[in-house]
Amino acid sequence: MSENNPYDSLRQVSEMWEKSLNGLLFQSLNINPLIQITKVGIQANSRYIELLKRNRELIANYMNLPTKNDVANAVKQTIQAEEKIDILEEQIWNLQESFALATEEQNKMLAEIIEFTKHLHSEWQKASQELTKLTKMQNEFDEIKKLLQKEREEPVLIGK
């Protein structure tokens, strides 16, 4: 530091002023009677503010106006209701997806049942046709039997 620099001397004077002002403030704040008076003033002011709060709530209740606490409670309940609605919406979406999947599976199963029923119907028709054929064949066999029995009953003359 050079002695010719005016800023150095100004800085030193500023530091001295700062130290002396800090000391003066510290001493003025450290005075016990000042602290006691401030404490009494704060207590009186807090009692007055509490009294004003109670009176404001009584007047608001008498006039049927919402208080700050009422509004805060209403906001909390609204937020809770919105959260519950969101949860319910999500559950409804999940149920809709489940129903859609179940409906799709039912449609697949019904298609398989219909296909199986059609197959059974065609098989039944084939079996019915075969049964009628077999019935005709049975009738023909019965007629052939009768004819054969008639031939056995009639005497056959054998010429010598």
The distance in angstroms from the start CA to the end CA of the chain is 173
Q: Find the radius of gyration of the CA atoms of the chain.
A: 56
Contact assessment for residue 8 and residue 1, using Cβ atoms and an 8 Å cutoff: yes
Which tens digits make up the pLDDT trace of 43-78?
Answer: 999 999 999 988 888 888 888 888 888 899 999 999
Q: Provide CB contacts within 8 A for 61, sequence distance 6+.
A: 67
At 1, is the secondary structure helix, strand, or coil?
coil
Q: Given this model, what pLDDT does residue 3 score?
A: 64
* Average pLDDT score over the chain: 88
Residue bearing the bigger pLDDT, 51 or 30: 51
